[in-house]
Structure 1
């Protein structure tokens, strides 16, 4: 009897006219201004250290310059504790202050290229040419925080 009463009360409250079946942007939630660009990567077994060594001399080096110049807010690399499960086992994340930071900008490009030397460019090209031997890109995402009210 007690269980039946609990089930009936749950049914009553879950079908309440006060419950909303969908939320409205700006009324029920806000959208954050930061943008995260996320690349999902599938690293071959036992190749994470090889891939990270390449990233350090290419992607990370470029991200550090972009952060120093104020073009990005931050960057991070996440690795799975369970590297053989799922479609990817590493995330490369770049956080931008807002969507305008994603727009093409010749002045920003020129300033970056002054810091990104010809040696950096050549090394990055050599390293990235070998990436297909150790990893597969599985997705690219642009994410924004959803702030529920």
Structure 2
């Protein structure tokens, strides 16, 4: 009985000490400058290729142009190897050098739209109208790296 009380006491002390632990930003960890915008998507069964085909002609074209113009750092698409598990089975990511790149900018917008052209704009609108038939957006996130020291 003494040992059980001793073990319970030690466990309580351990939890009390761990709950008092506090990390301090810039002392214990840093926050990265790069910002990642992430959209989680639930693709309907057997519709991944249909969705990817639409993305290639709309979203992928747009992010490639944005990267070429220097507006974004990079972009990625991830697909789950287990497509029927969880709330989403595909992730679309866009990486920015810093949060300033997310601010509205009329000059950048005009330059992008001029480069994008009316044909791409019309095609993109046509394609995106079909997306609700094959997918559901399940979340949007803006992420920064936590760099532990």
Q: Same-fold call, TM > 0.5?
A: yes
Change beyond 3 A, Cα 1:29–1:47: same
Partner of 1:71: 71
RMSD: 2.1
1:117 Cα deviation after fit: 1.1
1:22 Cα deviation after fit: 2.2
Partner of 2:24: 24
State the Cα deviation string for residues 22-56 of structure 1 (Å, max 9, x = none).
21111100000000000000000000000000000
State the Cα deviation string for residues 94-121 of structure 1 (Å, max 9, x = none).
0000000000001100110111111100
State the Cα deviation string for residues 55-101 of structure 1 (Å, max 9, x = none).
00000000000000000000000000000000000000000000000
Change beyond 3 A, Cα 1:52–1:15: closer
Higher helix share: 2
Partner of 1:117: 117
Change beyond 3 A, Cα 1:24–1:47: same
Partner of 1:98: 98
* TM-score normalised by L of structure 1: 0.88
Gaps of 5+ in 2: 1-6
Change beyond 3 A, Cα 1:15–1:43: closer
Q: How many residues align?
A: 143
